[in-house]
Amino acid sequence: MPAASVLDLIGRTPLVEVTRLDTGLCRLFLKLESQNPSGSIKDRPARAMIEAAEADGRLKEGGTVVEATAGNTGVGLALVASRKGYRTVLVVPDKMSREKILHARALGAEVILTRSDVGKGHPDYYQDLALAFTEKTPGAFYANQFENPANPASHQATTAPEIFEDMGWDVDAIVVGVGSGGTLTGIGRYMAKASPKTEMVLADPAGSILAPLVETGIMGEAGSWAVEGIGEDFVPPNCDLSLVKKAYSISDAESFAASRDLLRKEGILAGSSSGTLLAAALRYCRGESEPKRVVTLVCDSGAKYLSKVFNDAYMAQEGWLGRERTGTVRDVVINRFDEGSEIFVAPNETVASAFARMRAADVSQLPVIENDRAVGLVEESDLLDALVRAGPDIGQVFKTPVGEVMAGKLETISADAPVSELLPLFERGLVPLVMDGSKFLGLVTRIDLINHFRIGAR
């Protein structure tokens, strides 16, 4: 039967077994919350929080839904609110992926970006900003996923029984992350009654205070992490940590590697927090000496992170591809020609193609490659010079082969040279081609060197 509205497609997500990853003696199942209409687990609480506020009069016709969100709650709220005719205003920390912000804006939400590097109590902290905005806006309803009881209640009423039923009423452990705590508290409360043997396991980004708090009882200082949507610098009122039996801290690199592995091996496109959950679930499974039935969640779709987790250039830039650091120029090269980087141009391609590729990759120069050999370099300034020289024939320049405008005299440096040898070249304004023996490895620019120092300082 067709659904009456997209909101009726929230929930009843599928469960799938992982069969091509090493789960030790255990069986591991993933609940694909990525299949919800806006692509994440947060559609469930978004709908529940809005409908609870409608029911008790906190949200009325013409009202505004306000939220502090890492993105997914905002996208879920924007979906439900726009379908029901409310305005949505979201306060989002600026580390969040562009895809989520563009998605929320495309749904009609107004997005206020704020700093990611300040904590609770700072006026720019996303939750404090959202509250301040609500207080000055008539008809505004602050969804407040961190305290709103409708958030955990939605998981208790839907997510948990779906898991229990699909698992044939036999689950030994459920691995979850905590953003607001809604998933943990909702599923944990349901299982405590329906299936007391089921252990709740916390997957937490390294740097978050939650896993250390569970494991040692000590509330430490929060660090920073790049995984989105989970990990905390405080314990949200909606997060009942007493439900947690065991907790794992997972690094960004391990989380991202797990998301990438899940796509390669199982064909499941999952986001970064799902990588954290999967990595923790695999550690749990491999550590068990009895066969257990374990469930974890794909919290959101990897489509929200194609420009990050699934983008090799971004991953290399952040130092997450597991490349060895050798102290040589090799370490500084981001887009490696031998690894199939497509950011280059052939001499017989047009200036228009070179320009389009520079814009798409957000670079200011391209190596010119012919038969796997670097034969030139084309920089923004070469294109601009050609345009200025062309006078009234400016349109012709875009049709000119790159070979006619490129710089043919090349500055090269060995991949095995120490990093410090780049500095005199940059002082002379040069962009050297890095050579691995006689083979072209890639270009390095000032920004790559700055980035190299940033990663080294982490």
Q: Which residues form the catalytic set?
A: 42, 273
Q: Which stretch binds ligand PMP (CB under 6 A): 35-43, 131-139, 423-431, 432-440?
A: 35-43
Q: Which is nearer to ligand PMP, 64 or 180 (CB)?
A: 180
Token code pair at residue 156: 């208790």
Tell me which of 181, 188, 212, 275 binds ligand PMP, using CB under 6 A: 181
Say which residues have a Cβ less than 8 Å from residue 100's Cβ, sequence separation at least 6.
70, 71, 72, 74, 75, 92, 228, 304
Q: Work out how close the CB of 41 gets to ligand PMP at its nearest, in angstroms, rounded to a whole number.
A: 6
Question: Using CB atoms within 10 A of its CB, is residue 197 exposed (0-12), middle (13-18) or buried (19+)?
Answer: exposed
Q: Work out how close the CB of 276 gets to ligand PMP at its nearest, in angstroms, rounded to a whole number.
A: 8
For residue 418, what are the β-bridge partners? 328
Residue whose tokens read 């799938």: 16
Say which residues have a Cβ less than 8 Å from residue 381's Cβ, sequence separation at least 6.
none
Q: How far apart are CA 376 and CA 406, in angstroms?
A: 6
Site for ligand PMP contains 299 (CB under 6 A): yes
Site for ligand PMP contains 42 (CB under 6 A): yes
Site for ligand PMP contains 377 (CB under 6 A): no
Q: Which stretch binds ligand PMP (CB under 6 A): 22-30, 65-73, 336-344, 381-389?
A: 65-73
- Site residues for ligand PMP, 220-249, by CB under 6 A, read 228-230
Site for ligand PMP contains 179 (CB under 6 A): yes
Token code pair at residue 274: 């799902």
Tell me which of 63, 93, 205, 271 binds ligand PMP, using CB under 6 A: 271
Site for ligand PMP contains 203 (CB under 6 A): no
Tell me which of 37, 39, 177, 205 binds ligand PMP, using CB under 6 A: 177
Q: How far apart are CA 149 and CA 105, in angstroms?
A: 27
Site for ligand PMP contains 300 (CB under 6 A): yes
Site for ligand PMP contains 70 (CB under 6 A): yes
Q: Which is nearer to ligand PMP, 229 or 432 (CB)?
A: 229
Q: How far apart are CA 294 and CA 285, in angstroms?
A: 8
**Residue 204, SS3?**
strand
Tell me which of 90, 91, 167, 178 binds ligand PMP, using CB under 6 A: 178
Token code pair at residue 341: 């980087």
Identify the CA nearest to 210 among candidates 177, 171, 259, 183: 177
CA 258 to chain centre: 13
Q: Which spans of this chain sit near ligand PMP (rule: CB under 6 A)?
A: 40-42, 70, 72-73, 177-183, 228-230, 271, 273, 299-300
